[in-house]
Amino acid sequence: MNEISKLLTDYNSIIKENDKLYREAAKALGLADCAFWILYAMREASGSITQRDMVNMNYFPPQTINSALKKLETEGYVELRTISDKRKKQVYLTPDGEQLAIHTADRVIAIEMETMASLTPQEQQAFLSVFRKYTDLLKKNLSVLDGSK
């Protein structure tokens, strides 16, 4: 195995471990993955957010977001309101949803903040800078794939 291959193996292992940590956190908090990320996105947006924005923030397929929102709506945690364009819906937390977010997404965000604060300011910047650069380059390089075999 050459050095680049080993680095990619390590990187992919770290990314998958990170994904697993968030899945386990959502499960420990009694939430499905998508429901957790919806609450998380609402906290990042500091209020209401459209379904489309939620899809763009979470990188889940629209139908997955829609299904999770319908379930959260049925359970009384969110309210979907039609805005000017009838095809667009704004998502709001209900009072019960606000409490759910406090006990779930807010707790994870606090842990993330504590974790990031454990890095020096230089480490924080280096981490984000290199990760962003790698992701941008990967997106550019993967764009040559067109789905044909």
Sorted by where each begins, the domain ranges of the chain are: 1-30, 32-142
Give the pLDDT mean for 46-60: 89
- Is pLDDT of 148 > 70? no
- Condensed to tens digits (0 to 9), the pLDDT of residues 10-28 reads 999 999 999 999 999 999 9
- Counting other chains too, the contacts that 61-68 makes at CB distance below 8 Å and 24 or more residues apart are 64/34, 65/34, 65/38, 67/34, 68/32, 68/34, 68/35, 68/38
pLDDT computed for residue 12 by the predictor:
96
CATH assignment of 32-142, given 3.30.70.2190, 1.10.10.10, 2.40.50.700, 1.10.1040.50? 1.10.10.10
Residues 6 or more apart from 43 whose CB is under 8 A from it? Answer: 101, 105, 106, 109
Report in angstroms the alpha-carbon separations of 83 from 44, 54, 125.
21, 15, 38
Query: According to the model, what pLDDT value does residue 84 have?
Result: 78
Q: Considering the entire predicted model, what is its pTM?
A: 0.88
